[in-house]
Amino acid sequence: MTTGSREELTPKEVVLEGIGVSPGVGIGPAFILSDDKEQPVERAIIDRDVPREIARFEEAIMTTRHQIKEIQEGLTDAIGQTDASILDAHLMVLDDRSFIEDVIVGLKKQLKNVETVVRLVAKKYADALSKVDDEYLRERAADIKDVARRILRNLHGDTYDLSVVLEHKSLVVARDLAPSEIAALRNDRVVGIATDLGSRTSHTAIMARSLEIPAVMALRDVSTRVFSGDQVLIDGNKGLLIISPTEERLQAYGQVVKAREHIRSELAGLRDEPAETKDGHRIVLSANIELPDDVDAALEHGANGVGLFRSEYLYLTREVLPSEDEQARAYGEVARRFESKPVIIRTLDLGGDKIGTAFQIPRERNPFMGWRAIRFCLSHPAIFKTQLKAILRASHEGNVKLMYPMITSVEEVVDANAILEEAKAELSAAGVPFDGGMEVGVMIETPSAALTADTIAPHVNFFSLGSNDLIQYTLAVDRGNEQIANLYKPTHPAIIKLIQHTIDVGHQYGIWVGLCGEMAADPLLTPLLLGLKIDELSVTPPALPMVKDAIRSLDYPAAQELAAAALSGKSAEHVIDLCRETIARTAPEILELVR
């Protein structure tokens, strides 16, 4: 414990800056989540005690599994199956025979109480995974730590649960916070979350956004700078945590909250308005969805179709592959809900950070550059063809398109199209109706695909730029690594030039070009993307009103001037400054919501 008076440790007002991962403002007393309860007392046992310790361990495993499943079921009802599936990784740890057997062997060899052995085994696994370069495996270390914490609590009968411990509205402060812990929170008792560690793409950040809890991460030492009961203010938009805010600050933020609520209410009125500039230039503004259940949110926010249906979520967390009939029903349901509006279904994109239990995919040192997406599908033509036939059957609705992910060469497109033609022939022979003219496109999310777009264009009907991976692969920056988060720059000159090149090539060959990913959902970048002559933007449903407002506030020639200036820009910072200046002039209300 650091010495000194409370006044010395907590000044009148302290402003800490981190990464805003979930928008919103929260004000309330701090609740410090400590790890002290997780340090078991070590004690020796004798041989005849081992069976009893094993039984305690097995009971704790069963209790932990039950708790996580209960949390997951509650989340599924609240925020949908997709976000709730984050906890599948925790269940996989509980079912990992290597982990369980290491604990049992450790009991017999070390003759220590099971709490001690669980902690040591979990630490061994987590330490090993924490040292690897791959972000996916590093996140598995966090899963192991979280599961171990729950097992230890259950071993010593600790019913510690954030949803119970929080007696009144509080802002939860911790060194780190696991997905299962945040999932157990009661929204009416949590005004915000602040952690020392974390990044925007961490599972905890995703969960916070899904639950609409303001959150700031990567605050470094916030858990040691705040006392329980301190008044704190969190701004998830700007990434700020303010300890002991002044009365003036509180009043100012009260106005900010009211202004943001008013702006959101105004933007909701744009739902049925077209996505077109003031001078009449119109683009397609679509939604990204993961499951048929997401359609309601997309329609509620005014989506003009689906620009990205992530079909792999029909495969995740399943022991058996979805059948052709099951897939056709799911795709057809979405197509019918959108009537004549386009629905673009991305073919299976497993691998990287998405592994389905029905597949035997070997663990790779660098899965994001490994056997995934189109590579996996071309290696499993039977699985691939089943999905293609299901998509073709759904295309009978008349508004379905498909696209292949992670293309790196024209050969992959040719091979995929060949399997598609086989699927068409089999359906025709069986007398099953489908749209023979269904549009087929590719995701441009690798530098090689962007640079050879001219060889790919003759074989497809459209391009869809996947900005998240395009940035990651072009800049060699792991987008989930908080240590280098400052290097992940969507407005880097190389990214802007690759996007511009892809759009120009697409238009040269008479095909349209869309963009999905975080860039599309950032209204600050909307003027730039319009100026680069993008034809379609596909974003998460909550971002639709802001992006539409940015579009409707612009003059198209001004957007083109901005794009020309950006293409000659020397730095990412210069480009984002140009975008910010444009939005400040045309739609200043957006700045209140995004920064």
Which residues are designated catalytic?
A: 203, 516
What backbone phi and psi angles, to 5 degrees, belong to 50?
A: -60, -50
Distances (CA, A) of 121 to 214, 289, 376: 34, 39, 33
Would you give the DSSP letter of residue 406? S
DSSP string of 453-513?
HHHHGGG-SEEEEEHHHHHHHHHT--TT-GGGGGG--TT-HHHHHHHHHHHHHHHHTT-EE
Structure tokens at 184: 């157990």
- Residues 81, 210: contact at Cβ < 8 Å? no
> Which H/E stretch holds residue 14?
strand 14-17
| Distance (Å, whole) CA 308 – CA 516 | 7
Could you give the 3-state DSSP secondary structure of residue 4? Answer: coil
For 367, the 3-state DSSP assignment is helix
Report d(CA 160, CA 129) in Å as an integer: 27
Phi-psi region of 350 (alpha: psi -120 to 50; beta: other; left: phi over 0): beta
| In contact, 586 and 553? CB cutoff 8 Å | yes
Cβ 232 vs Cβ 30: under 8 Å: yes
- The partner residues of 513 in beta bridges, in order of sequence, read 463
Tell me if 283 sits within 8 A of 274, measured CB to CB.
Answer: no
* Helix, strand, or coil (residue 363): coil
Cα–Cα distances (Å) from 444 to 255, 385, 434, 528, in that order, read 43, 22, 26, 18
